[in-house]
Chains A and B, each alone.
Chain A
């Protein structure tokens, strides 16, 4: 089940996605984190953030909207408390997810995480759709995405994976801009911008009005985009993310071009789902006559 993300080997391709496992340690009540391929931590910013007003969750058919608004304790506390707490229960690769509201903030947080933690990969969120004046602008412009990539690459020797927004006309243009600016890999997709209305109150369900849609409903969209990007950027490792809930879908995402797969919304319904998927993978591989997962990446 081993896979590679560049020079980093993962025991398996399954990674709980940023924002759906806290800083990792929160999930350890439901599974042994050491069974995971890697852990992607909660999006981290320079300052502590409360996030958006409540309610910030809205259910949808086949998923949910969230407008958490990047609640996190800030990079100082993440380095001092959260990463050490994760390290007490988890030995594997850490993917540090980083957000920012300016190029300088991205660079600052990446530099701190690079210098003061043993994170294996920096996953740079340029796509979070639920923060006003936030990541959206960077992730929807090839030029802005490239600027963030260059700024981050200038301050770290760790592999940088840009996490892309699906809320764009042509995701391959953004992907290529990131790769040309030095990105070591890509992670896609972030949530799809959506809305629900409470028809009795005649108000948006979310206090933030709009939020990011994730869950099984976005899986075909994510798979299509992973496939397009894998063709447009051959040889660039992709972490596929979006609506994956089963071992079969992990394999589907890998056949579409992903080298590893993040599990997001499914954790919120079944906090032990990542372990279940990892346990199911060998059986599904046997059924499909797959000897090594590495062999199926991007074969479709």
Chain B
């Protein structure tokens, strides 16, 4: 759905990481789905995961990585944005047992926040393992704890939490998991934790709505568009 959103706030929450809260029509936005933000001055929309949805508020947590997100970081409350919402297939939260594991890396963490909220509301016991490069990039720990999740944070350089990567600290046996993060992390999860989970993929997109075939990946179920059949795939379907 295409609609206009009003920026309520836009603040830096970690190194190069910003949280933008917008007001608009939040109908039909599920955990793991993404939105496409038309940033004034850029031709293609920016695909961003959904950090939270409450009433008429949408939370986007994004990392400043290029021209589009740099422009977004300069925006402030009162400005409006043209956003396509409810895109792609999100996490199937019905697959979770009573024990659930969320695994996130860097700006792969935000979609897990929204998933955690829904899982906690359904009475699940949620363990969260998050990985970052260093202390300055860490965010979200308090949010998960406030929901009643059990949280483990690790950093590559050991400046915060456990030194190392998420797969060093995964619980065994590993319950059904939902994951999102960079490709090296996804490969490590598949190696270490197996395929009993769902993983959100990230690819450079053209349209984000299934028209251009710019983001197609090969899966065990054939060629699938990350923007349309994804971004969340069953871990066992991925060929990475």
| B203 at the A interface (CB under 8 A) | yes
Q: Which residue of B lies closest to A73 (CB)?
A: B223
A19 surroundings in chain B (CB, below 8 A): 212-213
Task: Flag A13-46 by CB within 8 Å of B: 1 or 0 each.
Answer: 0000001111000110110000000000010000
Q: Which of A54, A216, A269 contacts B45 (CB 8 A)?
A: A269
Stretch at the interface among A1-9, A60-68, A252-260, A279-287: A60-68
Task: Flag B196-209 by CB within 8 Å of A: 1 or 0 each.
Answer: 00000001111101
Known: A64-B44, A269-B45. A22 touches B217 (CB 8 A): no
Q: Which of B44, B84, B214 contacts A271 (CB 8 A)?
A: B84
Number of interface residues of A (CB under 8 A): 34
Q: Which of A42, A50, A54, A269 contacts B44 (CB 8 A)?
A: A269
- Verify B203–A59 contact, CB threshold 8 A: no
| A57 at the B interface (CB under 8 A) | yes
| B2 at the A interface (CB under 8 A) | yes
Known: A57-B214, A59-B42, A64-B43. A268 touches B207 (CB 8 A): yes
Q: Which of A59, A68, A272 contacts B213 (CB 8 A)?
A: A68
Known: A62-B43, A64-B43, A64-B44. A271 touches B216 (CB 8 A): no
A51 surroundings in chain B (CB, below 8 A): 213, 216
| A267 at the B interface (CB under 8 A) | yes
The CA of A218 and the CA of B42, in the complex, are separated in Å by 16
Interface residues on B, range: 20 to 34
Known: A54-B203, A54-B217, A62-B43. A267 touches B2 (CB 8 A): no
Q: Which residue of B lies closest to A29 (CB)?
A: B209
B206 surroundings in chain A (CB, below 8 A): 57, 64, 66, 268
B43 surroundings in chain A (CB, below 8 A): 59-64, 215-216, 265, 269
Known: A54-B217, A64-B43. A20 touches B84 (CB 8 A): no
B214 surroundings in chain A (CB, below 8 A): 55-57, 66, 68
Task: Flag B1-44 by CB within 8 Å of A: 1 or 0 each.
Answer: 01000000000000000000000000000000000001000111
B209 surroundings in chain A (CB, below 8 A): 26, 29-30, 271
Say whether chain A's binding surface is mostly helix, strand, loop, or mixed: loop
A71 surroundings in chain B (CB, below 8 A): 213, 216, 223
| B218 at the A interface (CB under 8 A) | yes
B44 surroundings in chain A (CB, below 8 A): 57, 59, 64, 268-269
The CA of A229 and the CA of B174, in the complex, are separated in Å by 65
The CA of A212 and the CA of B211, in the complex, are separated in Å by 16
- Verify B2–A272 contact, CB threshold 8 A: yes
- Verify A271–B211 contact, CB threshold 8 A: yes
| B189 at the A interface (CB under 8 A) | no
Question: 8 Å CB contacts to B: which residues of A65-81?
Answer: 66, 68, 71
| B164 at the A interface (CB under 8 A) | no
Known: A50-B223, A269-B43. A68 touches B207 (CB 8 A): no
| B50 at the A interface (CB under 8 A) | no
A-B contact pairs, 28 of them (CB 8 A): A20-B212, A26-B209, A29-B209, A42-B213, A50-B218, A51-B216, A54-B203, A54-B215, A54-B216, A55-B214, A57-B204, A57-B214, A57-B215, A58-B204, A59-B42, A59-B43, A60-B43, A64-B43, A71-B213, A71-B223, A215-B43, A265-B43, A268-B44, A268-B212, A269-B44, A269-B45, A271-B84, A271-B209
Interface contacts beyond A21-B211, A27-B211, A269-B44: sample of 9 additional A-B pairs, CB < 8 Å, sorted by A: A20-B212, A22-B213, A26-B228, A30-B209, A54-B217, A59-B44, A64-B44, A68-B213, A71-B223
B binding-site residues for A, Cβ under 8 Å? 2, 38, 42-45, 84, 203-207, 209-218, 223, 228
A binding-site residues for B, Cβ under 8 Å? 19-22, 26-27, 29-30, 42, 50-51, 54-64, 66, 68, 71, 215-216, 265, 267-272
In order of increasing CB-CB distance, the 3 nearest A-B pairs are A268-B207, A57-B214, A55-B204
